[in-house]
C-alpha cells in the first residue's frame, strides 16, 4: 500500500459518511485545505503530539490511541472555550498495517463525528510511531478563555474527577494494584479521556480563566496563577476522585489527584457572584464540577487538608525536560 493509497483508504471519507461542515471549503487532496471563518469569530489553533513510550504505551489499542490524539487537542480548545471546527493529522508510521490503520481511523472519526469536525489534511510518513493532531476552533471575538484572567477572591473549580489516569499508569508501572473493572475504569481514563468541550463553551463569559489538566493539577493551576499574577489556596481533600481512586491510600490519592496529569479535565476560576450561573452551566452541559479552592493575592499555591491544616506538596507536575 503506497502513501497515497493509504491516505485515500483510511483518511479520505465517503462524503455521505463524513460530517459536512460549512467551515470547510476544501478538505484533503490539494496542497492546502481551504477553510471558511464564521463572520465575527476568531480562530483558535492548537497542536499536540503523541510519541510512543513518552505519551502512550505500545499496549494501547489503535482506536484508543487515535481517540486520545484527537481528545487531547480538543481539550485545548475546550480550555479556551472554543467550538471545534476542523483538524489535521500528521502521522509517522513504522509500517502500513491495515488492521492497525482501520482501528485508528475508526477511533479517530468516532470522536471527530461526535464533535462535528472534519479531517481536512495532514502528512503521512514512514518512521517511529508519532501522531500529531492540529485542531482549529472558533470563539466570538474577544471571548476566548485565557490563563491570565484569574482575580483575587475568585473560586477555583475542576470538572469531573482527577487522578485516575495516573493511577492506571502506576498499575502499569507495578507500583499500584487494581483488578478487574476497577483497572478497566482507570485504564479508560488514561487511554480514552473525554474532552470537556461543552463545558468550555458554556463557561464563555463566566469563567475568568481556564486551563486543561494535562501535566498535573498543581502545575496546570500554577500556569493560571503565574499568568494571572495571583496565588491560591487549594483544599486538597476536596479534589473530586473516582470511587476507584478513593479506595487507595490517602497519600496515593493526593499524589494522583495533585500531580497526576493526563486527566484532561478543566480547571477554571470564576467570581463568587457567578456561583449560581456556573452551577447552571455545569448542569446544562451535564458535566460535573467541584469547587476546590480560591484565588488569593499572595503569590504561590497553598495546600490545605480537610482540617484546614497546611500541607507541603512533595511532588511536582510532569516536565519533559526536567533533569532532577
Ligand atoms: P504535499 O506533498 O503537498 O504536502 P501530501 O502528498 O503530503 O501533500 O498529501 C496529499 C494530501 O493528503 C494533502 O491534502 C494532505 O493534507 C493530505 N494528507 C496527507 N496525510 C494525511 C493524513 N494522515 N490525514 C489526512 N490528510 C492527509
Ligand atoms: Mg506533505
Task: Report pLDDT digits (tens) over 165-190.
Answer: 999 999 999 999 999 999 999 999 99
For atom 4 of ligand 1, which residue has the closest CA? 31
Task: Report pLDDT digits (tens) over 67-80.
Answer: 999 999 999 999 99
- The long-range contacts involving 241-246, CB below 8 angstroms and separated by at least 24 positions, are 241/161, 241/162, 241/163, 242/161, 242/163, 242/164, 242/185, 242/186, 242/189, 244/164, 244/167, 244/178, 244/182, 244/185, 244/186, 245/161, 245/163, 245/164, 245/167, 245/186
pLDDT, position 309:
85
CB of 5 within 6 A of ligand 1: the answer is no
- Distance from C-alpha of 36 to C-alpha of 145, rounded to nearest angstrom: 22
- Distance from C-alpha of 286 to C-alpha of 212, rounded to nearest angstrom: 18
Query: Bigger pLDDT: 312 or 284?
Result: 284
Residues in the chain: 324
DSSP conformation class of 52? B
The predicted model gives 243-251 an average pLDDT of 95
- Distance from C-alpha of 35 to C-alpha of 120, rounded to nearest angstrom: 9
Within a 10 A sphere around the Cβ of 53, how many other Cβ atoms? 9
Q: Tell me the DSSP string of 220-252.
A: HHHHHHHHHT-EEEEEGGGS---HHHHTS-HHH
Work out the pLDDT band at 100, boundaries 50, 70, 90.
very high
Work out the pLDDT band at 2, boundaries 50, 70, 90.
confident
CB of 231 within 6 A of ligand 1: the answer is no
Looking from the CA of residue 30, the nearest atom of ligand 1 is 14
pLDDT, position 323:
54
Counting ligands in written order, the one closest to the CA of 28 is 1
Domains in the chain: boundaries: 3-140, 155-304
CB of 133 within 6 A of ligand 1: the answer is no
What mean pLDDT is reported for the chain?
94
CB of 29 within 6 A of ligand 1: the answer is yes
Task: Report pLDDT digits (tens) over 125-136.
Answer: 999 999 999 999
CB of 181 within 6 A of ligand 1: the answer is no
Assigned fold of 155-304: Phosphoribosyl-aminoimidazole Synthetase; Chain A, domain 2 (3.90.650)
- Distance from C-alpha of 302 to C-alpha of 310, rounded to nearest angstrom: 7
Probe ligand 1: pick from 69, 109, 123, max atoms within 8 Å of CB?
Answer: 123
Position 316 pLDDT exceeds 60? no
Looking from the CA of residue 90, the nearest atom of ligand 1 is 23
CB of 119 within 6 A of ligand 1: the answer is yes
Entry pTM? 0.94
Q: Tell me the DSSP string of 165-204.
A: HHHHHHHHHTSS---HHHHHHHHHHHHS----HHHHHHTT
CB of 130 within 6 A of ligand 1: the answer is no
Probe ligand 1: pick from 6, 7, 47, 88, max atoms within 8 Å of CB?
Answer: 7
Counting ligands in written order, the one closest to the CA of 69 is 1
Radius of gyration of the chain (CA): 20
Nearest alpha carbon to residue 202 among 285, 145, 263, 135: 285
Counting ligands in written order, the one closest to the CA of 112 is 1
CB of 118 within 6 A of ligand 1: the answer is no
Which CATH number, 3.30.30.10, 3.30.750.24, 1.10.260.40, 3.30.1330.10, labels domain 3-140?
A: 3.30.1330.10
- 3-state secondary structure (DSSP) of residue 318: coil
pLDDT, position 14:
78
- 3-state secondary structure (DSSP) of residue 294: strand
Work out the pLDDT band at 1, boundaries 50, 70, 90.
confident
Probe ligand 1: pick from 87, 122, 130, max atoms within 8 Å of CB?
Answer: 122
pLDDT, position 306:
84
The predicted model gives 159-165 an average pLDDT of 97
The predicted model gives 19-41 an average pLDDT of 91
Position 313 pLDDT exceeds 70? no
Position 149 pLDDT exceeds 70? yes
* Numbered residues of the known binding site for ATP: 122-123, 147, 214
CA of 13 to the centre of ligand 2 (A): 19
Nearest alpha carbon to residue 109 among 13, 221, 207, 182: 13
What is the phi/psi pair of residue 35, to 5°? Answer: -115, 150
Amino acid at each position: 500500500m503506497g502513501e497515497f493509497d493509504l491516505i485515500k483508504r483510511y483518511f479520505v471519507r465517503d462524503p455521505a459518511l463524513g460530517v459536512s461542515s460549512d467551515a470547510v471549503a476544501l478538505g484533503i487532496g490539494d496542497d492546502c485545505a481551504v477553510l471558511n471563518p464564521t463572520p465575527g469569530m476568531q480562530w483558535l489553533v492548537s497542536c499536540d503530539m503523541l510519541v510512543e513510550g513518552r505519551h502512550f504505551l505500545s499496549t494501547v489499542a489503535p482506536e484508543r490511541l487515535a481517540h486520545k490524539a484527537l481528545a487531547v487537542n480538543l481539550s485545548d480548545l475546550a480550555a479556551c472555550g472554543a467550538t471545534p471546527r476542523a483538524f489535521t493529522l500528521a502521522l509517522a508510521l513504522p509500517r502500513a498495517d491495515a488492521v492497525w490503520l482501520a482501528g485508528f481511523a475508526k477511533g479517530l472519526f468516532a470522536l471527530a463525528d461526535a464533535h462535528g469536525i472534519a479531517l481536512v489534511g495532514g502528512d503521512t510518513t514512514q518512521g517511529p510511531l508519532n501522531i500529531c493532531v492540529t485542531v482549529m476552533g472558533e470563539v466570538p471575538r474577544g471571548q476566548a478563555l485565557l490563563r491570565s484572567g484569574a482575580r483575587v477572591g475568585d473560586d477555583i473549580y475542576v470538572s469531573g474527577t482527577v487522578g485516575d489516569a495516573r493511577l492506571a499508569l502506576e498499575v502499569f508501572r507495578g507500583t499500584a494494584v487494581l483488578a478487574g473493572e476497577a483497572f478497566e475504569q482507570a485504564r479508560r481514563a488514561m487511554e480514552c479521556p473525554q474532552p470537556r468541550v461543552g463545558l468550555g463553551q458554556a463557561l464563555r463569559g463566566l469563567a475568568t480563566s481556564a486551563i486543561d489538566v494535562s501535566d498535573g493539577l498543581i502545575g496546570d493551576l500554577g500556569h493560571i496563577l503565574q499568568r494571572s499574577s495571583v496565588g491560591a489556596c487549594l483544599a486538597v481533600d476536596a479534589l473530586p476522585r473516582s470511587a476507584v481512586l478513593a479506595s487507595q491510600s490517602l497519600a496515593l490519592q493526593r499524589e494522583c489527584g495533585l500531580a497526576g496529569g493526563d486527566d484532561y479535565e478543566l480547571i477554571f476560576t470564576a467570581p463568587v457572584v457567578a456561583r449560581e450561573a456556573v452551577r447552571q452551566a455545569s448542569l446544562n452541559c451535564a458535566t460535573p464540577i467541584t469547587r476546590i479552592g480560591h484565588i488569593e493575592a499572595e503569590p504561590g499555591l497553598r495546600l490545605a487538608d480537610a482540617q484546614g491544616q497546611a500541607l507541603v506538596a512533595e511532588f511536582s507536575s510532569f516536565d519533559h525536560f526536567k533533569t532532577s
